[in-house]
Structure 1
Amino acid sequence: MRKIIAGLLVSCIGVMTVTASELKLYQDPIPYGTYITDLDSMLTDAVKRNHWVFSKDESGIRYANLDYKTYKITTELMVKDNSVAVKFISAERPDCGKKSCKVDMGKVDGWLVKLRRSIAYDITLAVRDDALKRRFVE
């Protein structure tokens, strides 16, 4: 009996550490390889599909901002090793007129997942177009 309880405790502790280090759905980097030649242009088109606005500061850091339904969400688009990842920075509701102006993180996560999907979609189209070009050239 003691062995069973000890085994359950050890397995629960192992599960807890794995769960804490998992990425959110929107944080997984999207590789674009050599298929994207003008990354900023592609990101501008991809993020505006769902009301996001792309911006880039003087130091070269790329951002995607959403101002939608009383929510203001700021994310960083991290570019590293020919891949793009969405990094959540902040979410707030400054123009809320209701009693409860809590930020619904379920909605925020959903919008972040849609942002990632939109970027992945445009990268997929670029890969497909390159494959079609190569197919008809050969």
Structure 2
Amino acid sequence: MQLLIMRHGEAASHSVDQERTLTDFGRQQAAETAARIADSSWRPAKIWSSPYVRARQTAAIVSEILNCPVEEKAFITPEDDPGLCLNALLEHQQWPLLLVSHMPLVGTLSTLLIDGHREGVPFATAQATVLDMPVVGPGCADLKTRFVP
């Protein structure tokens, strides 16, 4: 099973975090990362997106380039527990899956799946990481590649 974990593109400042929108540069970043994914063997069957505006916008750009459906998931916002996402991944059937979310969740979910802890690794804006795992679980994934705009 392959899981692509992607951070949203660069976002503008806003007083309400959930309403932050992508900058022009952030849209360009998302398109560049999507184009790199499109040129690889890691094309997703489905995209899960955070409901925050910047993640939805990133997912929409990626979806258009990869011709892949998007589904919003309320449990992948910045401060959500990566364990909630892990539980949902256990039930998921359509692989590969691309998850578009935020720091610190993308970092903590990645380290939970790769190393079995929640220390968290940094993600650049619009960076995507490909994990390969025989089963979904802490410490079960191998890092295969990264796509950075």
Query: TM-score under structure 2 normalisation?
Result: 0.27
Point out the structure with the larger helix share. 1
Larger relative contact order (Cα-Cα within 8 Å, sequence gap ≥ 6): 2
Length-normalised TM-score, structure 1: 0.29
